[in-house]
């Protein structure tokens, strides 16, 4: 029997930091059809369809599919009625990311501290308990339609146990026996964690959200790019990168900048009900060649990079340990900074609207975001914008 009830903060000592983020607990998508979306992400990106919460497990409100790969946990949720918030948001925004949820020692204490730091509540703490343990979740609003949940877990629901096959939460059924899961075990895509997660916000709002992450979640400003860095002849953006610390996650915040034609950030906002949201998730691999070869084999649709890119890239980037012929064949992008280099590649939008996409990133020392590729990348994005009639 699952009990769901409001809860309050446990007693905490003065030296304790309630907003010490332990991990990214999960990233929740609101989608139109979680069952079908689960198979898309499993087939194309190698995620295991690990656990399901739906009518068969006693969940009469929504269907949620937990997809896992490395330390990435995606939760795909569809409302089972018109009144469910996921149904209403999918109607407005299409499929996309709703919640970047953080694992914390005490979700109630984290939530109360975030409110004290200036956050607005999205959902008060809820405790879900059954014979296996307890999951507590409390949620604050951030930019646009996105929220951050704080999640704390006890008993069999502790995150370390979930990472090793434990049940995710009450009303989840474990590991269905699916052919795609066996295929993925034999053909891994090698994605390990979410390196960064990019926010698109409105013109003039980037600095407000930078302050929000500093004030509310104690993030620090990591890098600053301006529109001289990130622009082509036509479209431009500005970006500041917020860092959680402890190598947990970085959140670059983009706003549109003036260009001759429409910024890609503006295009996103216009197809996202003029509401800020998540533009892309960057998924980390330690072997870009193997991962991207596997993803291409599975039919992932990546942005087109022109041959001309490879005529000049090695002058800029210098020697790398990967075979440069394979890098070109796979259409990977390369960039270098003072600390090393990185390889990256970007998918086309993952749904019909030109909103959310994935990046695959492999870091060889570099801690930046591929600044040197912005121009090449944006020119190829503009080819796609032009095809959609949105430039």
Binding site for Fe ion (CB under 5 A): 282, 359
Complex with Fe ion: residue 54 or 359, whichever CB lies closer:
359
Query: Would you give the DSSP letter of residue 56?
Result: G
Complex with Fe ion: residue 185 or 339, whichever CB lies closer:
339
Token pair in block for residue 264: 């890609």
Q: Which residues have a Cβ under 8 Å from the Cβ of 108 and sit 6 or more positions away?
A: 7, 8, 9, 10, 125, 136, 138, 152
Complex with Fe ion: residue 50 or 359, whichever CB lies closer:
359
Q: Closest Cα to residue 360, out of 292, 260, 309, 306?
A: 292
User: DSSP for 123-152?
Assistant: EEEEEEEETTEEEEEEEEE-STT-EEEEEE
In angstroms, give the least distance from the CB of 146 to Fe ion: 16
In angstroms, give the least distance from the CB of 147 to Fe ion: 21
Could you give the count of Cα atoms lying within 13 Å of 334 in the half-sphere of its Cβ?
27
Token pair in block for residue 337: 């900074």
> Reading across the β-sheet that carries 147-155, which strands appear in turn?
3-6, 120-130, 133-141, 147-155, 96-103, 23-30, 72-79, 62-69, 48-53, 173-174
Token pair in block for residue 266: 């503006």
CB 96 within 8 A of CB 350: no
Torsion angle of the four alpha carbons 383, 240, 101, 92, in this order, in degrees rounded to the nearest 10: -50
Complex with Fe ion: residue 18 or 96, whichever CB lies closer:
96
Rounded CA gap, 78 and 34, in Å? 5
Helix %, strand %, coil % for the chain, to 5?
A: 30, 35, 35
Rounded CA gap, 134 and 123, in Å? 18
Complex with Fe ion: residue 170 or 372, whichever CB lies closer:
372
In angstroms, give the least distance from the CB of 282 to Fe ion: 4
Complex with Fe ion: residue 29 or 111, whichever CB lies closer:
29
In angstroms, give the least distance from the CB of 252 to Fe ion: 7
In angstroms, give the least distance from the CB of 322 to Fe ion: 19
In angstroms, give the least distance from the CB of 264 to Fe ion: 13
**Longest alpha-carbon distance in the chain:** 63
Q: Closest Cα to residue 357, out of 365, 345, 348, 368?
A: 348
Complex with Fe ion: residue 150 or 341, whichever CB lies closer:
341
Complex with Fe ion: residue 353 or 363, whichever CB lies closer:
363
Complex with Fe ion: residue 104 or 249, whichever CB lies closer:
249
In angstroms, give the least distance from the CB of 195 to Fe ion: 8
Rounded CA gap, 391 and 381, in Å? 10
In angstroms, give the least distance from the CB of 357 to Fe ion: 10
In angstroms, give the least distance from the CB of 151 to Fe ion: 25
């Amino acid at each position: 029997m699952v009990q769901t009830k409001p809860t309050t903060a446990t007693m905490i000592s003065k030296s304790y930091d309630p907003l010490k983020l332990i991990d990214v607990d999960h990233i929740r998508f609101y989608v139109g059809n979680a069952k079908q979306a689960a198979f898309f992400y499993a087939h194309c990106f190698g995620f295991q369809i690990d656990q399901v919460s739906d009518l068969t497990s006693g969940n009469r409100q929504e269907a949620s599919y937990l997809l896992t790969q490395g330390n990435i946990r995606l939760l795909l949720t569809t409302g089972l009625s018109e009144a469910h918030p996921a149904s209403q948001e999918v109607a407005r925004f299409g499929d996309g990311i709703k919640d970047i949820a953080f694992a914390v020692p005490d979700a109630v204490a984290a939530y109360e501290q975030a409110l004290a730091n200036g956050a607005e509540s999205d959902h008060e703490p809820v405790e879900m308990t059954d014979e296996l343990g307890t999951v507590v979740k409390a949620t604050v609003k951030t930019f646009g339609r996105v929220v951050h949940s704080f999640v704390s877990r006890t008993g069999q629901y502790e995150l370390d146990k979930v990472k090793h096959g434990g049940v995710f939460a009450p009303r989840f059924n474990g590991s269905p026996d699916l052919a795609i899961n066996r295929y993925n075990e034999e053909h891994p895509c090698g994605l390990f964690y979410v390196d960064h997660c990019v926010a698109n916000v409105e013109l003039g709002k980037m600095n407000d959200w930078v302050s929000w992450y500093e004030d509310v979640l104690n993030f620090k400003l990591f890098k600053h790019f301006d529109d001289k860095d990130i622009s082509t002849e036509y479209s431009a953006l500005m970006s500041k990168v917020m860092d959680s610390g402890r190598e947990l996650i970085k959140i670059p915040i983009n706003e549109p900048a003036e260009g001759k034609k429409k910024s890609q950030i503006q295009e996103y906002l216009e197809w996202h009900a003029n509401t800020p949201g998540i533009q892309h998730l960057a998924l980390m691999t330690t072997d870009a060649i193997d991962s991207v070869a596997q993803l291409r084999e599975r039919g992932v649709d990546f942005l087109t990079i022109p041959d001309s890119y490879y005529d000049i890239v090695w002058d800029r980037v210098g020697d790398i340990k990967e075979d440069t012929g394979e890098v070109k064949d796979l259409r990977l992008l390369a960039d270098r900074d003072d600390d090393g280099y990185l390889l990256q590649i970007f998918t086309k939008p993952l749904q019909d609207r030109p909103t959310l996409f994935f990046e695959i990133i492999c870091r060889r020392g570099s801690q930046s975001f591929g600044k040197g590729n912005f121009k090449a990348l944006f020119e190829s994005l503009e080819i796609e914008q032009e095809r959609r009639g949105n430039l």
